[in-house]
Amino acid sequence: MDSGMIGKIEKAKRYAEEKDRITLNNFQATFKGDNNDHVVHYEQGKWVCDCSFFKTRGVCVHTMALEMVLNGMVEKAELTEY
């Protein structure tokens, strides 16, 4: 392995430890639920999940779990009072 690649690997490790450098803007994830799989999208600061709870509340266990996993890498969803 050449010295240029070694330097890039070291820099990548440093970047991976500095999570505040990373902001996720768009992605899709599949949650393997207890009963069904659910697809969650994150686009332009907005969460969307295909589960029925999200459709009525605008937030669900799937989006909340992803916010916890991705703490600091995505904006938190604003909860709406009902």
**The total number of structural domains that make up the chain:** 1
Does the residue 16 lie in any domain?
A: no
Exposure string over 24-58, b if 16+ CB within 10 A, otherwise e: eeeeebebeeeeeebebebeeeebebbbeebeeeb
Which residue type sits at 35?
N
Confidence of residue 73 (pLDDT cuts 50, 70, 90): confident
Domain of residue 33 covers 23-82
Cα 12 to Cα 15: distance, rounded to the nearest angstrom:
5
Does the residue 18 lie in any domain?
A: no
Does the residue 6 lie in any domain?
A: no
Does the residue 47 lie in any domain?
A: yes
Does the residue 7 lie in any domain?
A: no
Does the residue 9 lie in any domain?
A: no
The DSSP bridge partners found for residue 31 are 38
- The predicted-structure confidence for 41-68, as pLDDT tens digits, reads as follows 998 889 999 999 999 999 999 999 998 8
- The predicted-structure confidence for 7-45, as pLDDT tens digits, reads as follows 999 999 999 888 888 888 889 999 998 889 999 999 888
Does the residue 34 lie in any domain?
A: yes
